[in-house]
Amino acid sequence: MAINDKRLEVTEFDFDEVKTNLKTFLKAQDQFTDYDFEGSGMNILLDVLAYNTHYLGFNANMLANEMFLDSSSLRSSIVSHSKTLGYTPTSARAAKATVDVTLNTNDSSLTMPAGTVFNTSVDSVDYKFSTITDVTKSNTGNSIPFLNTDIYEGTFITTRYTVDSSDVDQRFLLTDNRADTTTLTVKVQTSSSDSTTTTYTEATDITQVTASSNVYFLQEVEAGLFEIYFGDGIIGSALSDGNIIILTYIVSNKSLANGAALFTNAATIASVTDVAVATVAAASAGSEPESLQSIKYNAPLSYASQGRCVTAEDYKVYAKRFFPNTKSVSVFGGEGGSFDTSLGVVSTPEYGKVFIAIESTTGNNLTATEKSTLISALSPFTVASITPVIVDPQTTNLILGVSFLFDSSKTTETATSLASKINTTLTNYNTTNLAQFDGAFRHSKVTGLIDDTDTAITSNITTVTMAHNLTPTLNTATSYTIQLNNKFSNPHTEHNKAAGGILASTGFKVSGDATNVQFFDDDGAGNIRRYYLTAGVRQYQDNTAGTITYSTGEIKISNINITSVEEVDEAASTFIRLTVQPDSLDIVPVRNQILKIDFVNTSIIGAIDTIAIGDSSTGTTASAATTTSSTATTSSY
């Protein structure tokens, strides 16, 4: 009977497998034989044993996962691991706006207290913004102006704790997980009878902290709350019993109030009823607490950067930390290019600077306030003599022309429904691979993805056109330089000269001609030409309206006074779309460039593959889907 008296499998943790192993083990004895029957007492005992083993195995597995930053899934674990790397996750951020508040009064000076409330609304939902510090200003005539006052969306909260060292569990928590720690001020009052208060600042670098430094430390704890704790008298000054800790901070609605631009005071300010509030900068930068994925990504990088911005990766980490709405960041040193206010980002080196291009999650460029806030936040971490400069991302749209053939005997789908599937494929590609810095367009990968969209698709031919939206300065003679950073198609000089070269544009009107809608094209020899159409024939107005450098992908438009812009995509527009045919089918973004597929103008056309369905008279017709040219040589875009 003892067929299996030495083996007890221990590699399985699944309930049924554990139970099977126990049964196998029990086969070695004949004291009890009924373990195989579901109703038997032995079987119930095995249930208990297997359940216990399974439970412990699961527990051990979860425990092991939570022990490492890479595999942990609980926020508390991830935050704790990041703490060992010296990284504090960013809290929820309140939307911040800047306003000029003017009190029309004859008083000589007044104080606008912390917690002064301003009302606003976004999408018909009311929000309250508050100041977070007391500000005192003097009269400038018959009013007291509080210029460039920062106000934060949310409720201004004050939390008090009395230090009691006999309570070993005492903790000092911000009471809400929507608290914005950047608005936190920490004051310590000596005692209930002595109202002397000392302001404490956050310790960011312990090498600078002495035994008498009035600093506090910040950490995230369970449930997304933040806790502050104080020094021990050796690193940072210690608190004593009876001290009253006063925490003031904003509890916000995170990103909901972003965009609020019109503010009114909720009540009198310093007893003044005649108050004017003017918006300097609309509300922005409200955001969710840092996501788990982001903490996992940033904590090791933050540790690697050692509190310094030296390499491009360091700047990426700090840009994300100080501007939480960052979607992606591109950083390049001055040796690799520079920024010129009129030319944009160019390849000319400019040493001593580092250029940071940030794509915001809102899709908008950073406002001037956001840029200057970020630069001042970065300055303590940068290497001396290096100046950070924030530049806007430059979007280059890709217009695809997809012609595919499909085997109609393999599918019940129509060309239209397959086109819709391909559109989804391209949308996914756009989201995951493009639409971020460093996201290059790889033509063969895309055509492969299109083929793999459905088994019925037999082949595809996909053309690429680059497009740039140029926003002109209206009614002022201005020159424009556009760097697309990818070589343009120009197989020989004067290529396609008669039909308009490889450049095309949407329409616009220029000063001196209010009737004719003008367009750009090129002569294949490096010159940009301006023309209008009469009965479909190009009437050239200027044969040297600018230059186009095919080898570097640069378009320069000479001084031109544009008075109005025609519709683009059948909608009123503020920009002119320029399209060019690139030399290579792969498009690479450089420096601050971002590639995106333009789905409005991308065409996806399907046809039945006559070879695949066995039509013998094929050969000639099978190539019907081949397009002759992808280049927009007219103003059709």
Partner 1 sequence: MSNITSNAALSDAQSTNDISRNVRQYKDLDLFFSRKNGTNDIEKITDIEAVKRSVRNLVLTNFYEKPFHPEIGSGIRDMLFENMTPITAVVLARKVEDVIENFEPRARLIGVRALPNLDRNEYEVTIEFFVVNTPTELVDMTIFLEVLR
Residues of this chain that bind partner 1 (CB under 8 A): 15-16, 30-34, 37-42, 44-45, 47, 50-51, 54
Closest to partner 1 by CB, 31 or 106: 31
Closest to partner 1 by CB, 49 or 600: 49
Closest to partner 1 by CB, 30 or 123: 30
Minimal CA–CA distance to 400: which of 363, 439, 442, 364?
442
The helix/strand/coil state of 615 is coil
| Cα distance between residue 97 and residue 263, in whole Å | 9
Minimum CB–partner distance for residue 53 and partner 1 (Å): 11
Closest to partner 1 by CB, 22 or 545: 22
Q: Are 23 and 15 in contact (CB under 8 A)?
A: no
Q: Cα separations (Å) of 229 from 17, 172, 216, 240, 341? A: 49, 7, 6, 13, 46
Closest to partner 1 by CB, 52 or 432: 52
| Cα distance between residue 492 and residue 369, in whole Å | 48
Minimum CB–partner distance for residue 35 and partner 1 (Å): 8
Q: Are 375 and 319 in contact (CB under 8 A)?
A: no
Minimal CA–CA distance to 389: which of 331, 447, 436, 342?
331
Helix residue ranges per DSSP H, 199-280:
none
Minimum CB–partner distance for residue 59 and partner 1 (Å): 15
Closest to partner 1 by CB, 39 or 614: 39
Minimum CB–partner distance for residue 51 and partner 1 (Å): 4
Other Cβ atoms within 10 Å of 122 Cβ, number:
19
Minimal CA–CA distance to 358: which of 397, 320, 404?
320
Other Cβ atoms within 10 Å of 467 Cβ, number:
22
The sheet carrying 197-202 orders its strands as 155-162, 244-251, 179-189, 197-202, 215-220, 226-230, 172-173
| Cα distance between residue 501 and residue 566, in whole Å | 22
Minimum CB–partner distance for residue 16 and partner 1 (Å): 7
Q: Cα separations (Å) of 261 from 25, 121, 257, 571? A: 74, 8, 10, 26
| Cα distance between residue 198 and residue 636, in whole Å | 68
Minimum CB–partner distance for residue 10 and partner 1 (Å): 19
Closest to partner 1 by CB, 9 or 107: 9
Closest to partner 1 by CB, 31 or 196: 31
Other Cβ atoms within 10 Å of 609 Cβ, number:
24
Q: Are 581 and 502 in contact (CB under 8 A)?
A: yes
Closest to partner 1 by CB, 30 or 570: 30
Minimum CB–partner distance for residue 41 and partner 1 (Å): 4
Closest to partner 1 by CB, 24 or 411: 24
Strands 387-391 and 353-360: parallel
Minimum CB–partner distance for residue 19 and partner 1 (Å): 9
Q: Are 501 and 493 in contact (CB under 8 A)?
A: no
Minimum CB–partner distance for residue 311 and partner 1 (Å): 52
Minimum CB–partner distance for residue 304 and partner 1 (Å): 45
118's CB contacts (< 8 A; 6+ apart) are 99, 128, 129, 130, 151, 263, 264, 265, 266, 277
| Cα distance between residue 151 and residue 431, in whole Å | 34
Minimum CB–partner distance for residue 55 and partner 1 (Å): 9
Q: Are 397 and 593 in contact (CB under 8 A)?
A: no
Q: Are 592 and 428 in contact (CB under 8 A)?
A: no
- Give the CB-side neighbour count of residue 602, counting CA atoms within 13 A: 22
Token pair, residue 216, equals 């506090």
Minimum CB–partner distance for residue 305 and partner 1 (Å): 48
First-last CA distance in the chain: 84
Closest to partner 1 by CB, 39 or 536: 39
Closest to partner 1 by CB, 35 or 508: 35
Minimum CB–partner distance for residue 36 and partner 1 (Å): 9
| Cα distance between residue 510 and residue 530, in whole Å | 10
Closest to partner 1 by CB, 32 or 351: 32
Minimum CB–partner distance for residue 57 and partner 1 (Å): 13
Closest to partner 1 by CB, 15 or 575: 15
Minimum CB–partner distance for residue 61 and partner 1 (Å): 17
Closest to partner 1 by CB, 19 or 81: 19
| Cα distance between residue 36 and residue 462, in whole Å | 63
